Structure formats: structure tokens, C-alpha cells
Structure 1
Amino acid sequence: MAQTQSTSSHRRLVAVVTAIAVVIILVLLSAFVWPRWAVKSSDESASSPSQSQTSKAATPTVSATALPTDASTLLKTMPDSVQNFARIKADAATDWSSANPIEEYTVVYSTGDSAKDVTLKVAQWSTADDAKKQYDALAATLTGEELGSGNVKVSGSTTGSYVVKTDAADANKASALWQNGTVVLQASGEKTAVQQFYKQFPL
């Protein structure tokens, strides 16, 4: 009888140990094989630094200059910042006065590095057709290498066109020109800065 009890206890012990071993193996498999909850994926480790850099890069290091209290609606649409570019200057302009815009401004955006400042010219016309005429006239003056072009779309509808070209006299500089409805904008400056700026500009 004692021998039978001992054998039974031994079997139970073996079963318990086996069950524990199986659980441990399953835990290890789930941790390191699938779904690998204990292993930090290479995608996560690779994306974390770039996400941190992007967040850091998107924060201006200089303060935006306030707009005048009597700023027009058009001027108020010029954002304080575009990623790491902050608005440091905004003045009335007359560069495109021959095309008879309703209003026109020159707005300068900076990262704090003056070599990468972006100068934005913006003007508004009474009709989209008048704005298109000015866009076409300005586009004809851009004779450098084309970096991009296409349609400007708002809520799925085409509201204008855009073209980006290097400066014919200096390949390290570029201009991005676009029309959005009755508004025409042209951003000029260092090539990389211009490409970064116009892609993120909200208007």
C-alpha cells in the first residue's frame, strides 16, 4: 500500500514538474519567438530616434514676429511657423504691382540660420483667372532645373498649380511657385530649405 502511494505521489510530482516545464517553454516561446513581446523590434528602435529628431526639427528655435494689429485677412493666414521656420518679418510689397493684385506682402521665415531663410511673396487677386495669369507669367521666368510640379488640391478639388525649380544662376537655390484660388505664392531661398518649407505650408 505504501509503495502504491509512493508511486502515485511520484507520478503526480512528475506531472507537476512537466506542466511547469511546459509553461516555462511556452512563456519563452511567446517572449522571444512569437509574438516576441520581450524583444524590441528593429522598426521601433529605428523609428524612435528619427521621430525624436523630427519632433525636435519641427520646433522653431527663434520666436515669430507678431503681425500688426490691423493685419488683413490674407496676412493673418501667414502662419507663425512652418515646422522649424518662424515668421520673422512681414511687410507690404509692390513687386507684382503691375499685375494689379488687391494686396501683396513679403514674408520672411527663418530657422535662426540666415543662410536658410525663406522669402515668401504672397498676393491676392479678385478672381482665380487673374491669379492664374500671374502664376503663368511668373512660372515662365523660372528657368532652372525642375524639382517638382503638379496641381494644388483642396478637399479633392483642383484650385491651382505648383512648380518648383532651382535658380538658373545658382543650383543651390530654388523657388517654389503655386496658385491656390485667388492667391499666388512664391517661396525662394536655399534649395533644401525651400523644398522643406513649401511642402508644409498650409495655404
Structure 2
Amino acid sequence: MSNTQTSSSHGKLIAAVVAAALVVVLALVSAFIWPGWALNKGGEARSQGTTSQGASQDASEPTTPSIDAVALPDDASELLKAMPDAVLNFARTKAAAGTSWSGASPVEEYTLTYSTGTDGQEVTLEVAQWSQGEDAQSQYDNLTGAMTGKELGSGNVKVSGEATGAYSAKTDPNDETKAIAVWRNDTVVFQATGAKDSVRRFYQQFPL
């Protein structure tokens, strides 16, 4: 092969490589710079997905009750008065003296019911107070020690950054669609029972 033919072939090869490179560059420019869809479309899709998910959660988990709370008796104690009218969309529908923990000798005890107005979503709340934190701790230990279901959550109860107690939530060992949550705040012990989803939402947002 002659030198002229070799130079000609080499020149054609370089031209082909340059042409291919230009095609790639133009494709990238078209996709990412000129119309802007390759970058912006991805960002828009993520934004829409987040918005859609948030709207779905808000629609499925309302945060305000659709029913009115039942008023407390005029002679309600300070502990009973401290019980909220509503927690998220759960409104208080019943409040009466309780006796479930009478064997532990609390100073006072109450049984309350919170409802969304839909059957099967009620939460029963047992609350009692002792004169000493040690007695409340003993009751908390007895209650949580008897909980044998699957753990849903546990940790410390904190007020102004300081631990004042602890909490534990587990499924009902006899029915995994139900749950039990127990927590202690200083001298007061609470126990919420009901449907698992209801208990989970209720105890996490309970203000005491």
C-alpha cells in the first residue's frame, strides 16, 4: 500500500471519529440543555411523587375529630381534667372511675374511651396516679412484663429534655390486629388498648 493511500485512510478515520463525537455532544446538549426535560422532568416527577404521598397520608389519617368530646363531670379531679378532649381525630366519648388496677392501690384511677366515630377504632385508656414514683414504676414494670406480643416501640418519656418515665408498645399476643401501649410519666401510668393502628397513632401523640 502506498503512503498516499495510508494518509487518506488515516484522514478518513479521524473524520469519522470527530463526526461521532459531535453526534454524542449534540445529543447531550439536546437532552440536558436545550429543552431541559432530562433534568427537570426527573425533578418534577420526584416532587409529584412526594406531594401525592403526603396527600394520601393526610387523607387516610385525619388529625382533627369529626365528633364532639363528652364533657367531664363538674367535680373532676385535676388528673381527670388533664386528660385531653381529643388526640388527633380521637375524641373522648367516656370517662369514669376505674378499678382495673385497684390491687396496686393507686390514689385515683380512671377508664376513658376515645373514638373516631367509626366502629372498631376506639381506644380504651386506663390511667392512674400514685403518691410515689416508685409505686408507679412498679405498676409499669408489672404491666410491661406481662406484654408478650411483637414490639411496636419503646423508649423514654421526656419532659423538657429530662427522662420522667418510659413507654412500651406491643401487639396483643392473642390478636395481632390489636395492640397495647403502656407508659409512665413520673407518678402516673397510662395503658392504651385497641386496634393496632389506632393505638399506634394515639399513644405517639398523647400529650402526657
Alignment TM-score, normalising by the size of structure 2: 0.74
One-letter amino acid of the counterpart of residue 199, structure 2: V
Match of 1:110 among 105, 115, 122: 115
Match of 2:139 among 134, 138, 141: 134
- The ranges of structure 1 where at least 4 consecutive aligned residues each deviate by more than 6 angstroms after the TM superposition are none
> Which residue does the alignment assign to 1:91?
96
> Which residue does the alignment assign to 1:173?
178
Identity of aligned residues (%): 54
One-letter amino acid of the counterpart of residue 47, structure 1: T
> Which residue does the alignment assign to 1:50?
54
Gap regions ≥5 residues in structure 1: 1-28
> Which residue does the alignment assign to 2:202?
197
Tell me the number of residue pairs that the alignment of Structure 1 and Structure 2 aligns.
169
Deviation at 1:163, TM superposition (A): 0.5
Deviations 1:114-166 (A, max 9, x none): 20100000000001111000000111111111111111111111101111011
Deviation at 1:43, TM superposition (A): 3.2
State the distance in 1 between where 2:205 and 2:165 align.
17
Residues 15-164 of structure 1: pairs in structure 2 closer than 5 A: 43=47, 46-47=50-51, 50=54, 54=58, 57-164=62-169
State the distance in 1 between where 2:111 and 2:130 align.
16
Label 1:44 to 1:202 Cα distance change in 2 as closer, same or farther (>3 A): farther
State the distance in 2 between where 1:159 and 1:51 align.
36
Residues 2-13 of structure 1: pairs in structure 2 closer than 5 A: none
State the distance in 2 between where 1:100 and 1:157 align.
27
Q: Secondary structure at the match of 1:116?
A: coil
Label 1:114 to 1:45 Cα distance change in 2 as closer, same or farther (>3 A): same
State the distance in 2 between where 1:44 and 1:113 align.
32
Q: Secondary structure at the match of 2:120?
A: helix
Label 1:74 to 1:51 Cα distance change in 2 as closer, same or farther (>3 A): farther
Deviations 1:162-181 (A, max 9, x none): 11011111011000000000
Gap regions ≥5 residues in structure 2: 1-32
Label 1:53 to 1:132 Cα distance change in 2 as closer, same or farther (>3 A): same
